[in-house]
């Protein structure tokens, strides 16, 4: 039985997940919470190698292979870092988790939510977040934010606008299905507002 908490942050590219993750880590620590921030895909050495593969715009990766690569990276992260920390009583703050695969591969790639859910259930041993913060944002705004970074687009960021519209709609469907776990946060507001709403969404767990 785990005694820690798993908090995940979800949303389309450009929604501000990394910015929130860093600010929320500090906010939780000031409240006396032992928290570790990790990202997906990545977080441990083997999963970081997989991250290089799935992000590389020079590679051709089929939809099923993509889903399996993400699930494999997630399985290693859970086994090596997440599960031990949770069992030790720590909180894990995770930049993306299973909901990303349900949205991106299940819906965006057309593989089906339940098929993708099943391979991730196997990969994680059924681990699910205690709370998920979905940073809801208009896809056009997300793409504009991503371009403003001035960095080369990775393999997924290079997808067409319709892909990200499907992803945002998928997140909305997931939130409607599990409103107690997945809390909608307005990502169009300034970062301070996003942080305040996120802390409020975790208040019952603190």
Listed in sequence order, the residues at least 6 apart from 197 whose beta carbon sits closer than 8 Å to its beta carbon are 185, 186, 189
Quote the pTM value. 0.94
For 73-102, the pLDDT digits (tens) are 999 999 999 999 999 999 999 999 999 999
Q: Give me the phi and psi of 92, to 5 degrees please.
A: -110, 125
Q: Which pLDDT score is estimated for 146? A: 79
Closest by CA to 78, choosing from 94, 102, 55, is: 94
Question: Using 50, 70 and 90 to split pLDDT, how confident is the model at 176?
Answer: very high
Q: Domain range holding 139?
A: 5-205
Does residue 154 register a pLDDT over 80? no
Residue 18's pLDDT band (cuts 50, 70, 90): very high
**Average pLDDT of the residues in 100-113:** 97
Listed residue (18, 1, 24) closest to 83, CA to CA: 1
Which pLDDT does position 83 carry in this prediction?
A: 96
pLDDT of residue 159: 80
CATH number at residue 31: 3.40.50.300
Rounded to an integer, the average pLDDT of 32-41 is: 96
**In the predicted model, what is the mean pLDDT of residues 162-170?**
95
- Give dist(CA 69, CA 57) in Å, integer: 15
Whether 130 shows a pLDDT value over 60: the answer reads yes
Q: Is the pLDDT of residue 202 over 60?
A: yes
Q: Determine the pLDDT at residue 144.
A: 86
Tokens for 9? 């942050």
Q: How many domains does the chain have?
A: 1
């Amino acid at each position: 039985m785990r005694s820690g908490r798993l908090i995940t942050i979800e949303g389309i590219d450009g929604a501000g997940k990394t910015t929130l993750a860093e600010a929320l880590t500090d906010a939780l620590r000031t409240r006396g919470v032992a928290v570790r921030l990790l990202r997906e895909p990545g977080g441990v050495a083997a999963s970081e190698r997989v991250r290089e593969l799935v992000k590389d715009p020079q590679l051709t990766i089929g939809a099923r292979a993509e889903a399996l690569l993400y699930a494999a990276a997630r399985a290693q992260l859970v086994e090596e870092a997440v599960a031990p920390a949770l069992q030790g009583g720590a909180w894990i703050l995770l930049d993306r988790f299973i909901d990303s695969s349900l949205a991106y591969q299940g819906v965006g790639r057309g593989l089906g939510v339940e098929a993708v859910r099943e391979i991730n259930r196997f990969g994680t041993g059924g681990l699910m977040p205690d709370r998920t913060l979905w940073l809801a944002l208009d896809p056009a705004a997300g793409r504009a934010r991503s371009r403003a970074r001035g960095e080369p687009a990775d393999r997924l960021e290079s997808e067409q606008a319709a892909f990200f519209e499907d992803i945002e709609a998928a997140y909305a469907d997931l939130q409607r299905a599990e409103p107690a776990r997945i809390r909608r946060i307005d990502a169009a507001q300034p970062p301070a507002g996003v942080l305040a709403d996120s802390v409020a969404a975790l208040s019952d767990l603190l």
